[in-house]
Amino acid sequence: MVRHFIAYLLIVASVSANFSRLFIYAGFELNRNYIATHLCENRDKPWLHCNGKCYFIKKIKLAQEKEKNDERRSQKNLFQEAFVSKKPDIRFYSQVLQVMQVPNHRIALPVVDLPIFQPPQLG
C-alpha cells in the first residue's frame, strides 16, 4: 500500500514539474481580476490594457530560470569522481623510436594567367 502511494506521489511530482507553465497560466486565469487590480505594474495606466499580463510574463520567466537552474544543478549532481582502488602498473621502456625523414617532394601548381572577371559598370 505504501509503495503504491509513493509511486503515485512520484508520478504526480514529475508531471507537475513538467507542467509548471500550465499551472502558472491556470493560476493567472483564476486570479486575473485580483492580479490586474493589485499586482499589475501597469494598473495605474489603463490605456495600456495590460490587465496583469506583465505579472504573468514575469512569473513565466521566473519558472524558466528555475528550470534552467534545476537542470544545471542536476547536471552537477551527475558528475562522478573516478576512484581507482588498485595502483596502476606503469612500465617505462627504454627503447628509442626510429626517426624517419619526411621526403621533400614539392608539388607544382598549374600557372593560370586569366583576367579577373569584373561586372560591367553602370553608366
Model confidence over 47-105: pLDDT tens digits? 877 878 888 888 888 888 888 888 888 777 666 666 667 777 777 766 666 667 777 77
Q: Is residue 44 situated within a structural domain?
A: yes
pLDDT at 98: 65
Q: Is residue 62 situated within a structural domain?
A: yes
Average pLDDT over residues 39-45: 77
d(CA 113, CA 106): 21
When pLDDT is cut at 50, 70 and 90, the band that residue 123 belongs to is: low
Average pLDDT over residues 113-119: 78
pLDDT at 47: 80
Contacts of residues 28-35 at CB distance under 8 Å and 24 or more positions apart, as own/partner, are: 28/52, 28/55, 28/56, 28/59
Helix spans in 1-123 (H): 2-18, 20-30, 32-34, 53-78
DSSP state of 100: -
Q: Is residue 113 situated within a structural domain?
A: no
pLDDT at 26: 82
Q: Is residue 121 situated within a structural domain?
A: no
Joined grid coordinates for residue 6: 509513493
Q: Is residue 80 situated within a structural domain?
A: no
Grid cell 560591367 in the structure block, residue: 120
* Structure-model confidence comparison of residues 68 and 14, the more confident one: 68
Based on the structure, what is the number of domains in the chain? Answer: 1
Query: Strand, helix or coil at 105?
Result: coil
pLDDT at 83: 65
Q: Is residue 70 situated within a structural domain?
A: yes
Q: Is residue 40 situated within a structural domain?
A: yes
* Structure-model confidence comparison of residues 82 and 107, the more confident one: 107
Grid cell 486570479 in the structure block, residue: 31
pLDDT at 28: 81
Task: Give me the domain span that covers residue 57.
Answer: 20-75
